[in-house]
Structure 1
Amino acid sequence: MIVHIFSTAKGIEKNFDAVRKSKKYDILVSPPSGIKTILKKAPIGSMVYLDISSLAKTEAAQALKLLAKQDSCRYGIIDPRGSAVDVAELFHNGASDYIGATLLKKGVQPKRLEAIAKFKAMESTDETQPAVKKKYTPSGKDWKGIIQGKEYTFCFMFVELDNKNELKGGGPEQFGRISSSFRSYLENIVTPFSGKIWMWMDFGGLILFPFDGKKCDAIEAAFRLMINRMLMSAELIHLDINLSYRIAMHIGNTVYKAKGNTGTIISDSINSVFHLGQKYAEPGGFYLTDEIFRFAPGGLMNHFVPAGKFEGRNIFRMKRLT
């Protein structure tokens, strides 16, 4: 596959060394001024990256419009200066990837391109009605600017224990200890990522994370929950029970209300993540909708594989831990 990079940055091809060395891709670098001509000749299915730091603001906007209109190549954005105001909008307009300064410095890996190819292949073969995607209203990096009663875009994490009968079999006192310990453990994991337990039932609940429109580090919190599950079972609960739980994550909109006042909220996004977690997710699994998968930290994307379609959305599942 051809990977065409439009940039004037000196040595930018070195950031794609791992891709080149895989021998699966041919790396070509050209100045952005030639993007229109080259796109017309590019083989169908090529991957195109535009370095928007190589263009003036108006020129970058024109190039992005050109990329959004074409349908023969997958395309991504290189943004070493973080100048993109709304990364979510880039994806809405058809972008397949976004590479910021940190990821560019680490170097792009071939598995990233493979994941993009799989994701876009699922989109292109989709013959069902796509899920409705509302316009995002980023809630920010933290909770400072979030006002009750207003609608924002959040990252949603649904978590629920699997082995309900076994857990309740020890009696209400033991189950109360388990539920309380589980909730405390969740809070310890999600708080550093600005997560808040927003709704809570006996066996789990919904955790809310602010979303800035650029990335969703909250996925790392869920990843930690998965890899630390056995440690939690052994060291936190102190019972002869191996805890199993399902996690489902999604990005969407909801009116924000304080915890305890959420009973009247009507949100398709909340319904979607609950349905995914309760009706589709298998015990012990961690699932992402396509909307949130696009914003996964680069190092975690390779840990997920396509897991079919649910309610009009492409779903990704974390690979089994071995």
Structure 2
Amino acid sequence: MNSVGAVIVASGYGGHGKKQNPMEEIDDLNIAAQIVVTFQRAGIKDIVVVCKEEKENLKKELRGFGVSFLYDTEDNEGEMFSSVKKGLSYLETRCERIFVCPVEIALFTKDTVEQLMKNPAKLVIPSVNYHAGHPILISASLVASILGYQGEKGLRGAIQSLSVKPAYEVVKDEGILVRADSVKDSDEIVRQYGETRMRATVKVRLTNRKPFFGPGMVTLLREIESLGSVREASEKTGISYSKAWSMIRDAERESGQTLVERQPGGKFGGAASVSKAGKEMLEKYEQLEQAVESYTTKKYQEIFQN
């Protein structure tokens, strides 16, 4: 189980009932990608974007980011709670704690995410100048109660109905409040966010005769293990079914191991699971990736910031 995951709501409406545009850009980067990058820089890998089925342009834009996609098919005009529930339900058994954030709140920083994770409370809400913002951090133990909420006040009402009181974490980050559609009035916040965004990145890939195991393969295997189906896993990761199998076959050929156990069957593609060898490779890859990222960050700070 991953300790922390994240749900990004990009299904059409945000916390104020206003229409979202996840493709809107701030400082030449679309807001959905801004949030994904911020979470990933804080070490969060299990990220779910909840959107409408017609958001193919968003899937295309985020395809290389290693995120999963869920579709909210409910007619929920002006309300994002059904999307929140879909994301929480999906990550409930995969993560111990889950961030929730509407896509239009895109300028919070990595430092804020890390500060929130250090707070051990079951429900953590960032606050600046006595105003609560996003992202909020929810314990998986509270998800069932949130999913069972039947009131009309959405996520706010679900939180108010919990027996657990929120822990308000005071941060020095006004980005937790700034909506993308009001960013023109927040030039200083955009500038400060841009200053924190520069970093060194290294994409870790295992290579034999050719590269065969990297972030895309990791996301695919995680979804196969969770869903028990290559077809469903490919849909969630935003790649075609044939591409998914091509990636699996290449990885197995180059590694010399069976990574996915198959059980043929019918038009839905049969059942599948990650093999013992596949799980071991996943674990070792993630250890290597974490070590490389840690070293890269350290050397970047030594060389560029000192």
TM-score normalized by the length of structure 1: 0.23
Pick the structure with more helix per residue.
2
Please identify the structure whose Cα radius of gyration is greater: 1
Pick the structure with more strand per residue.
1
